[in-house]
Structures are given as C-alpha cells and as structure tokens.
Structure 1
Amino acid sequence: MKYNLLGNSGLKVSNLAIGTMNYGKGDPAQPLFSLGVKEAKRNIDLCIDEGINFIDTSDGYAKGTSEEILGEAIKGKREKLIIASKVWNPMGDGPNDLGLSRYHIISACEASLKRLQTDRIDVYLAHKWDGMTPIEEIAEAFDNLVRTGKVRYIGCSNFSGWHLMKALAAADKANRQRFIVQQIHYSLQAREAENELIPIGISEKIGTMVWSPLAGGLLTGKFRRGESGPSGSRHFERKWKNPPIYDEEKLYDIIDVIIEIAEQREIPPSQVSLAWLLSRPTVTTLIVGGRNEEQFKQNIPASDLELTEEELNKLNEVSRPNLLYPYWHQQFMGKERFSEADLGLHKWHSGY
C-alpha cells in the first residue's frame, strides 16, 4: 500500500480509501444503503490488514446511518484510521438544518461526532457549495472547529474552481485554516475536473480525493459493448444517473482500451482504471466502495500498480475530452507562458 501526504499537510493517507456510501439499513427505497455493521466491520478489517488507513463518510449517507454503522464497526480500531466526513446535507425539516451556515456546520459536526463515537473528525469537508452563506462565515466556522479540536483538517467537495478560490482567499485574508483537500468526481469517463480543479490543486497545493473513480462500476469491465449490463445495474436501468453518460459510444471505446490493457496484464479491468487515476497530478487517494470482501480484494492491488507510458497514452487518447474555452484559445495563443498548473490541463491535450 502506498501513502501520500494530504495536500499541504504532514498527514499521510493511503492512496486508496474506504467508501461508506452503501452503509445503511437496507431500505428498499434506497437500495444503495444496504450494508450493516457486520458486513462493514468485515470489509474494514480486511482493508486495515491490507494497509488502508483512510475512510470516507458523510452525514448525508442514509441520513446519518452510515456514520452510526461506521462508529460501531471501528470500535477498538479508531486509532488505525483517518476518518473523513462531510457537512451540508439536510438533517431535519427546519430551515437551518442544511447548508454551510456557522449554525449548521458546528451543530452538524457535533452530531457526527456522536454518531461516529469519536472525539474528533480527522478530515471534515463541505459536501457541496452554499451560495447563500457568506464565504467568510463558512471559513470562520471551519476554522473554529479546528481550533477547538473537534476537527484536524478541512476541505471541500463538489466546489467549482471559483468557489474553491473564494474559500481559499477568505481563509488567507483572515489568517484562518485553509482547505487542504478537495473531494471531486474524476475518472476516465469524466475528466471535467482537469479544466480547473486539478490545476488549482497544483497551484494551491490542494490534495485530491476522488469519488466514484470507477464511474459507479462502469469502468470495472462488467459493462461491454453489445452486452447487457449486470442484473440490477443502476445505470442502464436508469435507476441512478450519477455520473451522467453523455456519449455512450465513447464510453465503450474507453472500456475497450481498459479491457485490452487488463487482458495483456492478466489483471481485473478495475485495477487499470484506478491506476490511471493514481498517475494524475494532485490525486492523493481514490475512494473505493464495495459490497463484499471480494470486491475490495480485486481493487486493492491497484495501489501499487504502475502503468507504462504507452498504456497511459492509450488511455489518455481514448478518453481525452474537448478543450473548453478559454483553454483552447490559451493553447493556441499563449502556451509559451504556461505554468506547471496550466500544464495540469494542457499537457494531456498537446503532449508538451
């Protein structure tokens, strides 16, 4: 298992993290939330034995039940894990039971601590952007949690580039704790983050936690051109539209290359998909979930897998998105003055 520093900090985390979005009570109306304490404990024990020390949850997963199950499952093992959780989600019917107001951030953190049965959250992230709350208030609330010892490090998830820069500027101006990590959607199937979020990560020394690195299972090799997906698939039965599939033909082109490389190496296709992401700049850890031990056993070897330059180029070429404005203009008219952060986007499109 490989470990990386989390952003501009001294905290080392495994480059694979345990995802807990599927922890819940098996509500038929919410089939994603299906694992109980027994199954969670078994999967967590396996991952700890393999060297994983990072686990991600949120109060929004099954309305806090995910945190409750996690708190029970890690009894006696708390000090072996770095716990990340998130805030924003509606936790009640009141007008202040969601968002990133100081009121909600602090009360939600205290509630998460109780559900997790712990005295601190190691990495606490804003789960979504809140355009109604002044950014200065958000920065002050997160800073307060760090200074009072309830939280060790802070970050954000699903922010746009300008949202993240506003948050960093507000923290810097008031000499408050900075976000050191962003949790983003990024995969061979969805590379939008390369436009701004990855370059910002390079420029501002922000680490990257990737959610849905296998595109919700699309990049595992289970979905193949001309074949029906696995029984009960949430994607092609249209039960779950996250991530959205804009170009199904391109998706299958990507899958074809993943499978080609996997067959040549005699490894599961999911390992190829994960290894490509781990080669990307600023990527600190990939959040991988699973229903059972076999799924984790299949993916964990990706931690140490290094693809060849030829393999990386094949994957990059087949999955490359079109450059958006103003980036295509910059590439044609201003590449002589690119910084390392600019190249976080442009070098994958032009090869320099």
Structure 2
Amino acid sequence: DTYGGGKSEEYLGKALKGRRDDVLIATKFGNSMGDSPYMAGGSRRYVHRAVEASLRRLGTEYIDLYQMHIPDPQTPIEETLSALDDLTRAGKIRYVGSSNFSGWQIADADWVAQSRGYERFISAQNHYNLLNRDAEREVVPACERFDIGILPFFPLASGMLTGKYHRNEEPPEGTRLAGSPRARERYFSDAGWDKVQKLTDFAEQRDLSLLQIAIGWLAAQPQISSVIAGATKPEQVEANVRAAEWVPSEEDLAEIDRITA
C-alpha cells in the first residue's frame, strides 16, 4: 500500500476490474502511509484500517496474500497475528505473509501463530539475488524449517544483473542505482563487478542473457515460490516471464555457486 501513497493499488484495481477471478492479488501493510505515527505499524487498530483502505483502493472484497511490510518493534507480534487471524476468518484476506523479517523473527512469528491457533505466515518477502545471498544465512533455513515460501525482491540487484551498468561509469540517469547511493555502494565494488563479468561470461557461453541467469537461478532454489521482478516497460515484463523458462542443470547451479557464493 505504501507505493505511491496507495496509487499502486488504485492502478492495479482499475487494471483488474472485471477480471478479479483470474488473478491473485498480493499487497502489504505496515510501512508509513503518512506523517502520523498512527499511519504505520502492526497494531490491531492500524491493521484493520489498512486492510479496509487497501480493499477500497483495489476495488475488491478480499486480498489473496496480505504481507506485513516490515517488523514493528513497538507492537507485540501476538497482537499483529491476532488481527490478521480475525481478518482471515472474516474473509477479507486469504493468506498472510511477512516481509523484511530476519530468521529469528520468522521463527518467533511461526511459534506464536502455532501455539495460539492463529493463521501462520505462508511467505517471506526478502532481499535475495545472485549478488546478495545474505538471506541464505538465516532466512532461507528458517523458511525451510517452517515450510514458508520465499518471494525474493530485487532479483536483478537493482539492474546490476541486466547489463545496464558498466564498470567505471556512472549509472544512467533515471535508473534505480542513480538515485540510491546506498545501493550503489553495495553493488559498485570490485568484487561485485568481478561477479557480474563472470556471470556474463557464463550466460554468453550458454546463449542466455544475464537476466535469464538471475531469474532462472532464483526460480530453481527449492524454497522460492515466485520471483518479484520490477519492470517499467511491457517488453521488460515479457523478458522477465521468458527468463523463468530457463531451468539450470545441477552443473549450472554448481558453477554459479562457485562464482557468487
């Protein structure tokens, strides 16, 4: 809901009008929706307000996957899960998920849900790609242990895995990394560029694009349920879909591990 101050949901609702039964809608709550401290978080009061606002903007009676955008240190997870359980029983949401939770937070939420009979998080949306495999330390093992599907965001490493950036050159104006010094610092390192070059060579040897390698590798990971790839043009959406058609062999996966692990 936070993207564009809710506009992303409004646009989606208009695009899907009359086609609701053909799609699964996933959205989020919890990140700031304004200047007030009461317009964010995981409190029972806010969760109920947020879902009603999302339903209105989306023009639907229910949300298939409702995800908590970020952990709320000010609200006990018991309160948040209780509110989400109420909304599930009321038919306003079908399933619940987390986003940006650490491994221990995923485990804690699952224990609370199971011990109290609440709806469990069925998905975890986290930063995960070939240039940032930090999720494998805690998040992936936690999701494997509790049978939670992972929805990785930034699968293309903010464009680093598309070939649009080049070593020793400033990122093109208007690109994600041009407007994000922190992300640029993360990826524009000698080690990062070396990995990109080796992955590019790997792709060319197989007559594939770097994008196909990035998305195909993620899709092949056992705990991945789907891959969230951004796009600003229709042809990018089509390229993302085609990329998921590449299925790496065991030898491919081993070689990619040697390059990026």
Asked if TM exceeds 0.5, the reply is: yes
1:138 to partner: Cα distance: 1.0
Q: 1:344 maps to what in 2?
A: none
1:90 is matched with: 32
Distance apart, 1:117 and its partner CA: 0.2
Correspondence 1:254-265 to 2 at 5 A: 254-265=195-206
Map of 1:295 onto structure 2: 236
Q: 1:250 is matched with which residue: 191, 196, 200?
A: 191
More off after superposition, 309-318 vs 95-104: 309-318
Superposed, which structure 2 residues align to 1:328-343 within 5 Å?
Answer: none
1:178 aligns with 2:120: yes
Match of 1:38 in 2: none
What does 1:153-164 align with in structure 2 at a 5 Å threshold?
153-164=95-106
Kept in 2: contact 1:215–1:243 (CA 8 A): no
Following TM superposition, by how much is the alpha carbon of 1:238 offset from its aligned partner in structure 2, in angstroms? 4.9
Aligned 8 A contact 2:123 2:149 in 1: yes
Larger relative contact order, structure 1 or 2 (CA cutoff 8 Å, min sep 6): 1
Matched, 1:273 2:218: no
Aligned partner of 2:86 in structure 1 is 144
Alignment length (residue pairs): 261
Paired letter, 1:307: P
Identity %: 40
Paired residue secondary structure (1:245) = helix
**TM-aligned CA deviation for residue 197 of structure 1:** 0.7
Scaled by the length of structure 1, the TM-score of the pair is 0.71
| Structure 2 unmatched runs, 5+ | none
Counterpart residue identity of residue 130, structure 1: D
What is the DSSP-based 3-state SS (H/G/I as helix, E as strand, rest coil) of the residue aligned with 2:161?
Answer: coil
CA distance in 1, matches of 2:165, 2:188: 15
Partners of 2:184 and 2:16 in 1: how far apart? 30
Is this contact kept in 1: 2:26–2:66, CA < 8 A?
Answer: yes
Query: Which of 211, 215, 225 matches 1:284?
Result: 225
> 1:44 matched to which residue of 2?
none
Opposite residue 310 of structure 1, the aligned amino acid is: E
Deviations 1:114-161 (A, max 9, x none): 000000000001000001111210110110110000000001000011
Equivalents in 1 of 2:246, 2:159: separation in Å? 19
How many Å apart are 1:162 and its aligned residue? 1.3
| 2:180 counterpart letter in structure 1 | K
Which stretch shifts more, 110-119 or 160-169?
160-169
Query: Within 2, Cα distance between the matches of 1:173 and 1:243?
Result: 42
Aligned residue for 2:227, secondary structure, equals strand
Q: For residues 306-325 of structure 1, what are the structure 2 equivalents within 5 Å?
A: 306-320=247-261
Task: Give how far 1:242 is off.
Answer: 3.8
Aligned with 2:147 (options 193, 197, 205): 205
User: For 2:247, what is the secondary structure of its paired residue?
Assistant: coil
- Equivalents in 2 of 1:226, 1:242: separation in Å? 16
Is contact 1:257-1:314 (8 Å) kept? no
SS at match of 2:228: strand
Q: String of CA shifts for 1:210-257, please: whole Å, max 9, x gaps.
A: 11100111111222334554343332x353534751661111122112
SS at match of 1:216: helix
> Which of the two has greater helix per residue?
2
- Counterpart secondary structure, 1:270: helix
User: What is the aligned-residue RMSD (CA, Å)?
Assistant: 1.7
Cα distance in 2 for partners of 1:199, 1:83 equals 27
* Displacement after TM superposition at 1:77 (Å): 1.7
Alignment partners' CA distance in 1, 2:238 and 2:190: 30
Equivalences for 1:55-94 in 2 at 5 Å?
A: 59-94=1-36
Q: In 1, distance between residues paired with 2:149 and 2:191? A: 29
What CA distance in whole angstroms lies between the structure 2 residues aligned with 1:207 and 1:258? 26
For 2:102, give the aligned amino acid: S
CA contact (8 A) 2:131 2:187 kept: no
AA paired with 1:73? A
Corresponding residue of 1:117: 59
TM-score by length of 2: 0.94
Could you tell me which of 129, 143, 146 is aligned with 2:71? 129
Where structure 1 has 5 or more consecutive residues not aligned to the other structure, the ranges are 1-58, 321-352
Mapped to 2, the partners of 1:109 and 1:74 lie a distance apart of 18
Distance 1:240 1:123, change over 3 A: farther
Task: Give the whole-Å Cα distance in 2 for the aligned partners of 1:230 and 1:261.
Answer: 25
Secondary structure of the corresponding residue to residue 317 of structure 1:
helix
Match of residue 214 from structure 1: 156
Amino acid at match of 1:304: E
| Counterpart residue type for residue 48 of structure 2 | I
